[in-house]
Structure 1
Amino acid sequence: MDEQTPVFAIAMAAELAGMHPQTLRQYDRLGLVSPSRTAGKSRRYSMRDIAKLREIGQLSQEGLNLEGIRRILQLDDEVVALRRRVRELETALADELLARPGRRVFAAGESGDVISLRAGERAQRSNQLVVWRPMLLRGERS
């Protein structure tokens, strides 16, 4: 069981979140928190849902209206998705670098001159910009 597992009925979720069950129903109708449903259509909340309900309560106490809260939650979800994507891309880049040792890296000097470096070598000056560009395989076009 993890934080995404839907285990709490609405009464227990409301108690854990410090809210009335009717408030949870309203948030579900508005799409702020969308719990899972059982075969009998009853709501089941996860720990992630409870945390989101608590966050909604906190933002509401700070004076935000429900539309503002909805937008904040939407942006939070986008940030989580983007961080996940960055990790995926970092992993793919690291795998590519490991698969192709000996590739060359280039740095730009103050006057715009290009300095060739071996992979793993650092530029001499701290004000140089290091740019990585993968070499094209035969038959590929840029």
Structure 2
Amino acid sequence: MSELDENSPLFAIAVAAELSAMHPQTLRQYDKLGLVSPRRTAGQSRRYSMRDVVQLREIARLSAEGLNLEGIRRILELENQVSALTGRVRELERALADELLNRPGRRVFAAGSEGDVIPLRAGTRTKKSTSVVVWRPFGPRD
């Protein structure tokens, strides 16, 4: 059995309508407009996920604030895009971390005193500076 998550198509239209406090015909209209796109069963019945129900509630909230359906569609599109991009960034961060940890002979870098990049061999350290810098913001004192 596969795991259930927020995207699992669980609810028939009547249940999704009740959970979102909307009429089933409103859900059909939003599906037609592309605001919420539930999955379909083999018999073409709509099956809504918990994420779809949350999105329907968000549509109701935005509509109550005075946004028209085109504005709501654009907001949802951007939110979905941000969510997808955030997931992709996390995926790439994990892949990069795995690559850095598992690559033998990986390169290490340090920042020089002038902001330059200094390549180091793995296991080596930079030379410590022993110079003292005195800063007098108002010039010499009498």
With normalisation by structure 2, the TM-score equals 0.74
| Equivalent pair of 1:7/1:45 in contact (CA under 8 Å) | yes
| Equivalent pair of 1:10/1:44 in contact (CA under 8 Å) | yes
One of 61, 70, 74 as aligned partner of 2:73: 70
Q: Percent identity over the alignment?
A: 75
How far apart are the structure 1 equivalents of 2:42 and 2:7?
18
Instruction: Tell me the secondary structure at the aligned position of residue 51 of structure 1.
Output: helix
Note if 1:32 corresponds to 2:35: yes
- The AA in structure 1 aligned to 2:22 is M
Note if 1:46 corresponds to 2:40: no
| Superposition pairs of residues 1-142 of structure 1, within 5 angstroms | 1-109=4-112, 111-117=114-120
> Offset at 1:35?
1.1
Instruction: Tell me the secondary structure at the aligned position of residue 86 of structure 1.
Output: helix
How far apart are the structure 2 equivalents of 1:120 and 1:77?
43
Largest Rg, 1 or 2: 2
> Offset at 1:107?
4.0
How far apart are the structure 1 equivalents of 2:69 and 2:124?
53
How far apart are the structure 1 equivalents of 2:6 and 2:50?
5
Instruction: Tell me the secondary structure at the aligned position of residue 16 of structure 1.
Output: helix
User: Over aligned residues, Cα RMSD in angstroms?
Assistant: 2.4
Structure 1 residues not aligned, in runs of 5+: 125-142
Aligned to 2:132: none
With normalisation by structure 1, the TM-score equals 0.74
Greater alpha carbon shift after TM alignment, 91-100 vs 16-25: 91-100
Structure 2 residues not aligned, in runs of 5+: 129-142
* Equivalences, count: 124
